[in-house]
Structure 1
């Protein structure tokens, strides 16, 4: 991998981050001329957090270390960032190839669910096909403004949502994808990591779109409250009595829950909008520092 990327990007500094490996690949990487650094907190999110904090560059190319992403697309992806045409370029595997890794049970379904959720919740102008790819390039603006919260493989989903929410420029380039070399196994667990990714989308949607999130909860609670309250109210008008007191209590609780949920949504939406304003101001500062 190091040789391939040196050939297409001879001017680039190549960093290899060792995340508690025990097979001596760090020594091989160093012998091949890469800059080797170590991240002792296990997990891809922790590795990327250290990478983005430690390295200053005009363009960042991120590649998984399993020799599955071809180097031939690297120059095109980097040029889009260096020319100011993108803040994040996605190496889209799914538009051009079908690879062995995705023959695991539910893996394709999981990718589809994540893609549908993101494109639906964030109303993307362009459909993002490959949300989980580990082949991306970034601008300094993206790298220095991205708050990495996750520790594992859900970090790629977090990257995509951050770029969408902050209205950063996103481009996708179809890339060919190779199956892993024999003897190499993915650390991605279809079930546990898939659940983590879905929870990440859920939490980020709540944080980034609080008015819609809590508004839906308020609407559902109020609808159920009205359904329960209507027959009680009609019976009261007809007889002057309220025999179903528990139903009345539940309907009142649901109505209050809906009201509180809508208030929470309004307050948190104001905070989220202020956060976006602060982000824009921070971007101006970062651009001035980068110049």
Structure 2
């Protein structure tokens, strides 16, 4: 087991990968048993050759997508602590020792490299990315009652127990959102660490699609909220159905009936009853799923105990 594993997912990053690996090697000299892993995701340039030349251990993930790469990294690499950093040279490697210390000395499960509290909005030249980051941060902190200041950052530190109990479900860039929500919902210790951000060097292109990946992130947030808070999610539809049902019944059925003693709007009566039943179904669906989610939380706590035992056995 390594003391520290620095994980670098890479796809067509020949312009910056060598510099990133060398910078990481220099800043981690004081941390024994450190390895740098570059996981190539079907690069068509010289990313692999340059990473090997710089001193990294290069491995491959042939299923396209950052989520697929992270799934492979988390399965294969064994370490006491992990630092994940992008290969585009936008993050300061000088923050790695402090992030590592938080994990091994203070038992932090996830350290979030917070760009948004420093230079991100000045350095990033894509205004819609700025808006998207702020929107996703507000939405997740509001829905999940947390205080993660940079949801979409690719610069993070992880404990062994986080890496070995995190179920990677996403295939693309929405993986960072999934990590943030998972750590919050499983009551793991999360800390923010402010880091400076610099935009990509000229000639280096982002792999993110502002609209496409942004919609995937929002879809992921909704799906995870439904999964982690099913009662609250289905209660929204239940209450809406009941409100529309009662409004329709009173205005289109009850008020005319009080005047004429006749049910003149039979279709409205039928629709209001259908909505009432749908609201009841949504309410009890949320209740049942909430009970299942409670059992899942108990099972996860047991998996954490198993991960801790495995960590102690492996690190002996």
Smaller-chain TM-score bracket: over 0.9
Instruction: Give the number of aligned pairs.
Output: 289
Partner of residue 213, structure 1: 233
Shift of 1:237: 3.9
How far does residue 32 in structure 1 lie from its aligned partner after superposition? 1.8
Shift of 1:102: 3.2
* Structure 1 position 100, deviation (Å): 6.3
Q: Distance in 1 between matches of 2:309 and 2:40?
A: 33
The residue aligned with 1:32 is 54
Of the three residues 282, 305, 311, the one matched with 1:261 is 282
Matched, 1:103 2:122: no
Q: Could you tell me which residue of structure 1 aligns to residue 45 of structure 2?
A: 23
- How high is the TM-score relative to the length of structure 1? 0.96
Counterpart-to-counterpart distance in 2, 1:98 and 1:123: 24
* Aligned position for 1:284: 305
- Correspondence for 1:189: 209
Select which of 193, 197, 201 maps to 2:221.
201
Deviations 1:120-179 (A, max 9, x none): 11112xx22211100000001110111111100000000000001000000011101111
Output the aligned Cα RMSD. Answer: 1.2
The answer to whether the aligner puts 1:166 opposite 2:186 as a matched pair is yes
Question: Which structure: greater strand fraction?
Answer: 2
Q: Does 1:88 align with 2:110?
A: yes
1:235 paired residue number: 256
Distance 2:166 2:35 in 1: 22
Unaligned runs of 5+ residues in structure 1 are none
Instruction: Tell me the secondary structure at the aligned position of residue 172 of structure 1.
Output: strand
2: CA distance, partners of 1:16 / 1:66: 12
Give per-residue Cα distances to partners, 1:170-193, cap 9 Å, x unaligned.
001110111112210000011000
Per the TM alignment, residue 287 of structure 1 is displaced from its structure 2 partner at its CA by 0.8
1:178 aligns with 2:204: no
Structure 1 stretches of at least 4 aligned residues deviating more than 2 Å after TM superposition: 98-103, 233-240
Unmatched 5+ residue regions in structure 2? Answer: 1-19
